[in-house]
Amino acid sequence: MVSEQEFIKFLGVRIRQLREEKNISQQVLADICNVPKSTIERLERGEVNPTVKTLLKISKALNIEFIHLFSFKVH
């Protein structure tokens, strides 16, 4: 079973992957989501536990279904 911290790290990696696939910078994603760039940086590094509201903003900004943020395998 994966720990909460590991899950948050996997989620951050997934968000970075999706953002890079869309060729969007951290700053642009932050601007679209109306959050500081530091929030996106910390989220992608797995340092913060994002709120559902923030995750919804990110999924909309990336033009993906919310559930796709969680399409990753945990070890």
Statement: the pTM of the whole predicted model exceeds 0.85 = yes
AA identity, residue 49: N
Distance CA 41, CA 46 (A): 9
AA identity, residue 33: C
In contact, 27 and 37? CB cutoff 8 Å: yes
pLDDT, tens only, 38-74 = 999 999 999 999 999 999 999 999 999 999 999 977 7
Distance CA 19, CA 15 (A): 6
In contact, 14 and 74? CB cutoff 8 Å: no
pLDDT, tens only, 5-37 = 999 999 999 999 999 999 999 999 999 999 999
Tokens at 32, concatenated: 């679209």
